[in-house]
Amino acid sequence: MPEIVTDEVLWAAAATVPDPEMPPLTIADLGILRSVERRGDSVVVTITPTYSGCPAVDMIESGVIDAVVDAGVAVDRIRVERVLAPAWTTDWITDDGRRKLAESGISPPRTLADASGQPGSVSVTLSGRRRQPIGDISCPQCGSKTVTELSRFSSTACKSLYRCESCREPFDHVKEL
Amino acid sequence: MSPLLTYVLRHADDNLIVAQRLGELIASMPDLEEDIAVANVGLDHLGQARHFYDYASELDPDSRDEDQFAMERSEREFLNATLVEQPNGDFAQTQMRQFLLDAYQVPLYEAMTASDDARLAAISAKAVKEARYHLERSSAWVVRLGAGTPVSHEKISQAVEYLWPYAGDLFYADDVEEGLAASGVAVDPATVRPTFDATVADVFASANLSVPDDPYARMGGRTGFHTEHLGHLLPEMQSLYRAHPGATW
């Protein structure tokens, strides 16, 4: 590949790929893009799925290949690897990603309490040990914290559906994982 | 088949078959939110099945791929527990089947994250997050139906009575589980049972349901002896693939 293609250029290229289900966000914003590295003559891009059954992974993979080709790498030198561990968490969504979500009318996920954090941050319920989100969900339209969950699942597996009781608008919330 | 391949297929098949059952309900649930929920839960199970089949493919001497595992095997070759192949029935039966599966999968996957087999540990670390979410939802429905109206209570009680013996099949163990558990790879289902029982007792208490005291379990799924329902599910699931083997689009 041309010398001009630096590691930074490669990362920046892969990082431009939009998420097919939430196009304002890139795969870098979402934390799906884990690494871009050179191995010998090849470029290896590592991605991780948000959910086991995420149907967008194939599309993301072809998007990554197109983007790295556009950066000047031959298509037969590009490999996309999918990893499951460590498992994706909404805590990997960047600040930029959270801002873009809110601007698109989607309530960003809250951050999760550290498992080893203060007492009470991990609740042991019948569904096992689970890191609890910190703070309240607020309406992305008016900012009100008076919201009601309408459905645990929404337009995609990673979102749940809420209604704001102040402005009465329904909205999607990216659920904490 | 090697014990590890058998073990991986048992869990792949649980997820595939329940995903197919949930898929049957798409566009026929009582409201839009439940329709979306059932599709999403099914999708999670399908994704988990694919991760297990990917691994099975690497372990398989014939290198069968995920489609071949799902679409080219016949009833006697499927190794899912008989619980997941039971028909959707009414809404109560669908939710009870899901609850019993979720109450089993959460502690199963939690334990599997500590497997010495890095691949199983990675698949289950991903899956457990989804299973916990499923359990919260199905538990809420069991409580709502059980502590709801006399009609909903009657229906969910019938679902318990019908499904309980099949739930027992989830805890079947033979030398596959025992051998692999001894070497730190598999989870011995017996270690999952206390958590399952505690979850059932807890949720049933809130739902005014009694836990059946009949210990009879209808075993056999894990060795390919299924109820008649799988024999009806498979032709529908496999018909397109069998008409056009290997087709891509």
Ranges of each domain in chain A? 7-82, 105-174
Contact A49 B41 (CB under 8 A): no
B165 in a structural domain = yes
- Smallest CA-to-CA distance from A68 within A81, A58, A82, A78 is with A78
The Cα–Cα gap between A65 and A76 comes to 10
Total number of domains constituting chain B: 1
Which residues have CB under 8 Å from B240's CB, separation 6+? none
Residues of B in Cβ contact (< 8 Å) with A54 = 47
Smallest CA-to-CA distance from A73 within A43, A34, A35 is with A43
pLDDT band at A130 (very low <50, low <70, confident <90, very high): low
> To the nearest whole number, what is the mean pLDDT of chain A?
86
Assess if residue B127 is contained within a domain. yes
Q: Do A53 and B202 touch (CB under 8 A)?
A: no
Residue B249 lies in a domain: no
Cβ–Cβ contact A130 with B under 8 A: yes
Q: Inspect the interface and report whether the beta carbons of B47 and A153 lie closer than 8 Å.
A: no
What's the gap in Å between the CA of B36 and the closest CA on chain A? 6
CATH assignment of the domain containing B112: 1.20.1260.10
- What is the pLDDT of chain B when averaged over all its residues? 96
pLDDT in tens, A132-165: 788 889 999 999 999 999 888 888 878 899 999 9
Write down the ipTM of this complex.
0.79
Q: CATH number of the domain at A7-82, out of 3.40.1410.10, 3.30.300.130, 3.40.50.1100, 3.40.50.2000?
A: 3.30.300.130
Does B219 reside within a domain?
yes
Residue B156 has pLDDT above 90, yes or no: yes
| A120 has a pLDDT exceeding 60 | no
Phi, psi of A134, rounded to the nearest 5 degrees: -100, 135
What residues make up the domain containing B9? 3-243
Interface test with B, best of A54, A84, A162 (most B CBs within 10 A): A84
pLDDT score for A4: 62
Residue A124 contacts B, CB cutoff 8 Å: no
Is B45's Cβ below 8 Å from some Cβ in A?
yes
Residue range A55-77, pLDDT digits in tens:
889 999 999 999 999 999 999 99
Give yes or no for residue A123 having a pLDDT over 80. Answer: no
